[in-house]
Structure 1
Amino acid sequence: MADVGGMPHPLIEPGLWVERIGDRVFPQHLPALFLDRDGTINVDTDYPSDPAEIELRPQMLPAIAAANRAGIPVVVVTNQSGIARGYFGWSVFAAVNSRVLDLLGDHGVSVDMVLACAYHEAGLGPLAISDHPMRKPNPGMLIEAGKRLDLDLQRSLIVGDKLADMQAGRRAGLAQGWLVDGEAAAQPGFAIRRLDDGDDLAGLLPAIEALGRDNGS
C-alpha cells in the first residue's frame, strides 16, 4: 500500500494499481470475466477525471450481473496513460474508480478486483516505460489477477472496446473475447465476438452462465 498525495493507494509499483474489492471468497481455479473500464463499463470521456461526469454503459450491467450470479470473479483491467502523461494522479483515479464502483453497486452488481496500469512511453519520470508488460495489449494485468485469484485463464472471458483488450486476452491464454462496437474476427486460438448492442448479449450471457454451470454454481 503506497501513500500517494497523502492518501494510501493499493500500488504494488509506481505504475500498477491492484485492488481487491469486497470480501467474496472464490474456489480455486475458477474462470473470470475480465472487463476493460473506460468505454466498456462506463462511457469514455477521454481520460475520465471527474467523478461527477461518470456514466455507466448499460449494456454491461447484465453481463456483470450474470457473472455475479454464476459465482465468477469479475476483474477490471484498465490502461491509465492519463496518469503517466501527468493529466491527473492516482488520487483522481481513485475517486473516479470509486464512483464507477458505486454506480455499479446502485444497480446491484459488483466487481471483485481492479487492476490499472499507468505506464506509457509518453509518460513522466518512472512511468515513462514503453511497452510495459502490464500495459495492454500485453497480458500482464490478466496474468497478475490470475495469480492473485488462482484463476483458470484459459476458460476466462474478456470484454473491451479496443483491439488491445482482445490482444491482451489472447496473449494471456484466453480463448475468446467480446469487442464493444467492433467486428467479429478470428485469430489463431482466439475468437473475437462483436458486442454492439443489447442483441449481442445473446452470445455473451450464455457464455458466462456456462462457466457457472461448469463449476457447479
Structure 2
Amino acid sequence: MNNKALFLDRDGIINVDHGYVHKPEDFEFVEGIFELCQLAIKKGYQIFVITNQAGIARGYYDVATFESLSSWMVNEFAKQAITITKVYFCPHHPTKGVNQFVMSCDCRKPEPGMILQAQQDFSIDLKDSIFIGDKISDMQAAKNSGIETRILVDSRYTDESPSEKVEGVMRIKQLQQAHKFVI
C-alpha cells in the first residue's frame, strides 16, 4: 500500500453547507476547493469524498438524486483538471428517517467504514493520507481509521463540548489554510 489519499467531507468542505444539498442549483463550491485539490494531485494524492447523507434516510431525496448530483459534482471537478477517484456516502441515520435507511451502520461517520472501504478498494496508505472535514465526527472517523493528518475547518459544527476532544487535529479557519498540510 503506497497510495496516499486526500479524503474530503462534502457539505462544508466541497460545497457551502446549506442543509441537505441535493440539486446542482443549490450547490455552491467552497472558495479554494479547486486549488486545494489541484495541489493535492500535484503532490500525488488521490481524492475521495467521504460524506454522510442522512437526507436519504429522512426522505428529503433518494439515492438516485444523490448519485446524479455526485456525477455533476465530479464533472465540475474534471473541468478544473481534478479527478475525484470515488465518492463514498452513507445514506443511513440511526434514529431519524422514513425508510429502510434508518439503521445503525459502520459507515456513518464517526465510524470509519467509508474510509476503510476506500483503503481496501484502492490500496490506500492511511498513515500518509489526509482528512479534511468541518465536524468532530469527521475527525473521529479519520482517527478511527488511522489517518494521522486530520484537519478541522471551523464551522457552525465545531464548537465542541468538553466531552468531544479533538486531540491531534489541526484546526484552521478557512480551507485555503489547508495547503500547508498537503506535502
Moved more, 166-175 or 67-76: 67-76
User: What is the match of residue 171 of structure 2?
Assistant: 194
Q: Is the 8 A contact 2:126 2:147 kept in 1?
A: yes
Q: Is the 8 A contact 2:111 2:140 kept in 1?
A: yes
> TM-score when scaled to structure 2?
0.87
Give the % identical residues. 32
5+ residue gaps, structure 2, are 159-164
Taking the aligned partners of 1:127 and 1:31, their CA distance within structure 2 comes to 31
- Give the Å deviation of 1:40: 0.5
Q: Which has the larger radius of gyration?
A: 1
Taking the aligned partners of 2:99 and 2:23, their CA distance within structure 1 comes to 24
1:53 maps to 2:26: yes
Closer, same or farther: CA 152–198 of 1 in aligned 2, 3 Å: closer
Taking the aligned partners of 1:146 and 1:55, their CA distance within structure 2 comes to 29
- Give the Å deviation of 1:165: 0.5
Taking the aligned partners of 1:198 and 1:114, their CA distance within structure 2 comes to 20
Taking the aligned partners of 1:54 and 1:186, their CA distance within structure 2 comes to 29
List aligned pairs for 1:95-110, cutoff 5 A: 95-110=68-83
1:63 maps to 2:63: no
- Give the Å deviation of 1:80: 0.3
1:129 maps to 2:103: yes
1:143 maps to 2:120: no
Could you give the per-residue CA deviations for residues 165-195 of structure 1, whole angstroms, max 9, x where no partner exists? 0000000011121111257x752xxx21123
- Give the Å deviation of 1:202: 4.7
Q: Is the 8 A contact 2:54 2:90 kept in 1?
A: yes
Closer, same or farther: CA 52–202 of 1 in aligned 2, 3 Å: closer
User: What is the match of residue 126 of structure 2?
Assistant: 153
Q: Is the 8 A contact 2:58 2:99 kept in 1?
A: no
5+ residue gaps, structure 1, are 1-27, 210-217
1:77 maps to 2:54: no
User: What is the match of residue 118 of structure 1?
Assistant: 91
Q: Is the 8 A contact 2:31 2:175 kept in 1?
A: no
Could you give the per-residue CA deviations for residues 98-145 of structure 1, whole angstroms, max 9, x where no partner exists? 222222223222211110000112133431113x11000100000000
Equivalent residue of 2:4, what SS? coil
Select the residue among 36, 42, 63 that pairs with 1:90: 63
Equivalent residue of 2:100, what SS? helix
- Give the Å deviation of 1:72: 1.5
Closer, same or farther: CA 33–78 of 1 in aligned 2, 3 Å: same
> TM-score when scaled to structure 1?
0.74
Taking the aligned partners of 1:164 and 1:96, their CA distance within structure 2 comes to 23
- Give the Å deviation of 1:53: 1.9
- Give the Å deviation of 1:157: 0.7
Equivalent residue of 1:58, what SS? coil
User: What is the match of residue 29 of structure 1?
Assistant: 2
What is the root-mean-square deviation of aligned Cα atoms in Å? 1.8
